[in-house]
Amino acid sequence: MTAETRDFPLAIVLSVTTGLFLCPKFSDIHECVEHVAGHSVWTHELADDLLLAYVRERIYEQHPGLRGVVRPEVDKSLRGEAFLAAVRPWLGAMADQHGTDIALIKGTGERTESPLQSLERMAPGKSVIVVDVGGDE
């Protein structure tokens, strides 16, 4: 069986590996993380250091050259288009080294914990209340 592979723009992959928001849509980053993990990722899990470390390591296994990428020095007060304009030269240099698109193999989908367990781990001592609103099964 051949593993499912998908191309992602370099800016999206570097958003995952560097932790910088280098693309216009957050949903693109979410989609990349889900693809590499191989399972749906709840929004709170996008802030989970364990999950992100796992996803980054899968990316580095497939593209070892990305492991050494150093985040650009950018004025921390910049936001939105101003930030993207400031990092554009750096992204261009990264594209010269790594290409504009990065092929990533879809993950196996194995989870070490449920999304509710990760929420409990990420917010120790806080109540997690599950509300069943019905719907599609």
Rounded to whole angstroms, the Cα distance separating 114 from 96 reads 39
| pTM confidence score | 0.89
Structural domain of residue 92, as residue ranges?
A: 5-112
Q: What's the pLDDT score for residue 134?
A: 82
pLDDT of 85 higher than 80:
yes
Tokens of 59: 């990316």
Mean pLDDT of 123-134: 87
Q: Is the residue at 135 inside a domain? A: no
Q: Is the residue at 136 inside a domain? A: no
Rounded to whole angstroms, the Cα distance separating 21 from 42 reads 18
Q: Is the residue at 117 inside a domain? A: no
136 — pLDDT class (breaks 50, 70, 90): low
pLDDT in tens, 117-127: 999 999 999 98
- If one counts the domains in the chain, the total is 1
| 55 alpha-carbon distance from chain centroid | 7
Q: Is the residue at 132 inside a domain? A: no
pLDDT in tens, 22-50: 988 999 999 999 999 999 999 999 999 99
Q: Is the residue at 120 inside a domain? A: no
pLDDT of 1 higher than 60:
no
Q: Are 115 and 42 in contact (CB under 8 A)?
A: yes
